[in-house]
Amino acid sequence: MLNKRKFKESVERNIRVNFLKTIKTASGQERYHAVVKTLMEEVVTHWQETNERHHNKKKACYFSAEFLMGRAFGNNLLNLGIYEEVKEVLNELEIDIDEVEKAEADAGLGNGGLGRLAACFLESCATMNLPVTGYGIRYHDGIFKQRFVDGFQVEEGDPWLAHGEPWSFRRSEDAVTVVFGDESVKAVPYDTPIIGYGNQTINTLRLWQGEPLINFDFNLFNEQRYDESVKEKNRAEDISRVLYPNDSKEEGKILRLKQQYFFVSASLQDLVKKYKETNGNEFEKFHQYHAIQLNDTHPVVAIPELMRILTDEEGLCWEKAWGITTKTFSYTNHTILTEALEKWDVKLYQKMLPRVYEIVKGIDEQFIEFLNEKSYEKKKIDQMKIISNGRINKAWLAIYGSHTINGVAEIHTNILKHKELKDWYELYPQKFQNKTNGITPRRWLALCNQELSALITALLNTEDWITDLSQLKKLEKHQYDDEVLKRFMAIKRTKKKQLAAYIFKKEGIQIDPNSIYNIQIKRLHEYKRQLLNAFHILDLYYELKENPDIQRTLRTFIFGAKAAPGYVRAKGIIKYINEVAKLVNNDPQMKDQMKVAFVENYNVSYGEKLFPAADLSEQISTVGKEASGTGNMKFMLNGSPTIGTNDGANIEIVQEAGEENNFIFGMKIEELQAMEDTYEPRAYYESVPGLKRVVDTLIDGTFDDGDTGMFQELYDSLLEGASWHKPDNYYLLKDFDDYREAQRKAEIAYADEIAWARKCWMNIANAGKFSSDRTITEYAKQIWHI
């Protein structure tokens, strides 16, 4: 229970003490900081109690290059159980709670699904009372802020820390030194509370910031060589400046390697130091107190780094150190894409991490010896050895150095076992597990869709579903209750109106809430096939132009995505979609037919508006390429049927909610694998009605790519291929007709409002499996043993 009088007095005091202002004269940013400082007075006690409760017990450590947290304010109030009370107090102070929340910047700590999953996992760990700490980097400028200029993506810095960050504490006493081949830097931790829902458990996210050992060289400065005097400061700060710096040149690759080593070395030094304070030098028990989860290959350098610390600094023999290491680490594989199964140039490791490279080489030699003892043929050994062709295969290092490897959806794990990691599965079948991803129902329903949450609570007569999502199954009995379905559709219309108002304010685009909202929001990557979506939109446009009297349901197609700065094709797809949008939106004939919106700078806060408003969830990745997806789960939980392929968690969504309540199209993985070697995309290009016309818009002058050659390159990628891939590597042309037919079926189904509402409702009622509470409980029991 919140002491409202005390809370109000604290807000007023914090504004006065920190800003020399009153409530009325304080800015929105200052009010936000004052309210958060007041909340932190409530939080720190439970945070300290949690730390004491977890002291000297086994805990899990989640190592991740990304944590896509989103705004903390509303979610923390919800989890503390004081949202409405704080809202009342702020109203009394004439402060709008929405304005306070808007003053908070989205934390620039992640980019896509991998980082958002990490954020959901941390919140679920706290809610499930599990002792888990997240470790990563405190990026000063995030990945980037996205703008569109003439339809092109333009990247800007995203200084989310410009006004300070009141949720975290700088812990200078825990700073450590990280040593590279050419410099040493200081790693300073900042701790952020991760608040569990309704249970007073508050875990920690520890993020490391790069700083110089000496701020500047006084002698150089005194000699008026000012730039040189701060060179080391700039180099150190660059490490934690930007998430995923462009690595098209060697300097970028070096910076990425430094980032990876920086945060895992700092984290491991921190863990070892704290372990020794309680347990002395008995490192044989280290794994009994620590389960370290490697979130993809980015932090895999932690394996040789722990070996370095145990052997070089703590004096353990190689065999003991290796035994401890392999009992400590587990590895999550998030993808089968070659570029994401990182392979690092040996020369970079030798230059930047010479001692770590020696240890990796020792691990590789040990592994080769092990395979020789098992009578493996030289050809097979060459395929599996960790160092090969002058490169370090980090996925192989992760598998050999971990006790457990998991995929993130049933189809993904099966592909790993029987194709991509087949040799490793045959060697270590006991290591492989599946852990289908999940999402936190707090942020992705209870917070972002309070209207639907209230309806669910009323129908179930309890709020217990917020921490036990399986209870949603009880909603199935209302699938034929027309009054309930009408109430749901009224809520959906409310969310659609809210989104329309927000898009108009942010983008200046007017969309109609009475239209079908098709939404595709995710990273921009060729395999996610935003281009297929654009081709369908253009095909529909031409159909409507040729048949102006045809009766079709008004459609709104919404995109949100960032392309990596160095990913030229992805940026070309963004430009192409914006060209399609310009054509459609400027055509008066389309006013009552269709609209296209590509929202700028898609992030968590934008997602909180988009997911509840969607009518159709676009999950159209090439089969076998999307490991799981979590956006598909957020749409499902908010009552949006999936239009998608037999890929990732789409398969499990359909298993739970029924194929009749979704729109699945395209090949299954077995069909794709059977036709991989014989696929001829030009046959589809020539024979599928309407397809050649839309593909040719890439090169026939319909659209302008600003003489960049981007559209020609996209065209060639589909019909000619490239040195590194075959034509139409992601089967857009093969799936186009099936996709168009699925879109037509969805449009027809939407016309029957009650039948459509029933499809939506059955998705909500069967979303229970996709709670990150369920996923993280499986990790805790079956991998971490905490």
Residue ranges of domains in the chain, CATH in brackets: 56-71+106-437+778-784 (3.40.50.2000), 441-770 (3.40.50.2000)
Confidence (pLDDT) at 195? 98
* Interval 355-373: pLDDT, tens: 999 999 999 999 999 999 9
For 367-380, what is the mean pLDDT? 97
Report the percentage of the chain scoring pLDDT > 90: 95
Confidence (pLDDT) at 340? 66
Closest CA to 637 of 769, 464, 454: 769
Confidence of residue 183 (pLDDT cuts 50, 70, 90): very high
How far apart are the C-alpha atoms of 31 and 318, rounded to whole Å?
Answer: 55
Q: Which residue has the tokens 């009995």?
A: 477
What angle is formed at CA 305 by the lines to CA 303 and CA 308, rounded to 5 degrees?
120
How far apart are the C-alpha atoms of 227 and 231, rounded to whole Å?
Answer: 6
* Interval 7-53: pLDDT, tens: 999 999 999 999 999 999 999 999 999 999 999 998 999 999 999 99
Closest CA to 310 of 259, 351, 260, 271: 271
Asked whether the predicted pLDDT for residue 179 surpasses 70, the reply is yes
CA–centroid distance for 296 within its chain: 12
Around 706, how many Cα atoms within 13 Å sit in the side-chain half-sphere? 12
* Interval 568-623: pLDDT, tens: 999 999 999 999 999 999 999 999 999 999 999 999 999 999 999 999 999 999 99
How far apart are the C-alpha atoms of 517 and 520, rounded to whole Å?
Answer: 10
How far apart are the C-alpha atoms of 537 and 556, rounded to whole Å?
Answer: 10
How far apart are the C-alpha atoms of 451 and 427, rounded to whole Å?
Answer: 51
How far apart are the C-alpha atoms of 577 and 559, rounded to whole Å?
Answer: 9
Asked whether the predicted pLDDT for residue 317 surpasses 80, the reply is yes
Confidence (pLDDT) at 484? 98
Question: What is the model's pTM?
Answer: 0.97
Asked whether the predicted pLDDT for residue 338 surpasses 80, the reply is no
Asked whether the predicted pLDDT for residue 391 surpasses 90, the reply is yes
* Interval 700-736: pLDDT, tens: 999 999 999 999 999 999 999 999 999 999 999 999 9
For 413-441, what is the mean pLDDT? 97
How far apart are the C-alpha atoms of 267 and 677, rounded to whole Å?
Answer: 46
Contact (CB, 8 A) for 636 and 764: yes
Q: Which residue has the tokens 């789960």?
A: 633
Asked whether the predicted pLDDT for residue 222 surpasses 90, the reply is no
Handedness of CA 304, 305, 310, 316 (dihedral sign): positive
How far apart are the C-alpha atoms of 82 and 76, rounded to whole Å?
Answer: 9
How far apart are the C-alpha atoms of 275 and 135, rounded to whole Å?
Answer: 16
DSSP string, 576-596: HHHHHHHHHHT-GGGTTTEEE
**Two tokens, residue 330:** 């587990």
Confidence of residue 439 (pLDDT cuts 50, 70, 90): very high
Positions marked catalytic: 334, 522-523, 528, 630, 634
Asked whether the predicted pLDDT for residue 246 surpasses 90, the reply is no
**Two tokens, residue 410:** 């049933």
* Interval 120-166: pLDDT, tens: 999 999 999 999 999 999 999 999 999 999 999 999 999 999 999 99
DSSP state of 243: S
Q: Which residue has the tokens 């829902």?
A: 197
Confidence of residue 549 (pLDDT cuts 50, 70, 90): confident
CB atoms within 10 A of CB 430: 8
What is the rounded average pLDDT for all residues in the chain?
96
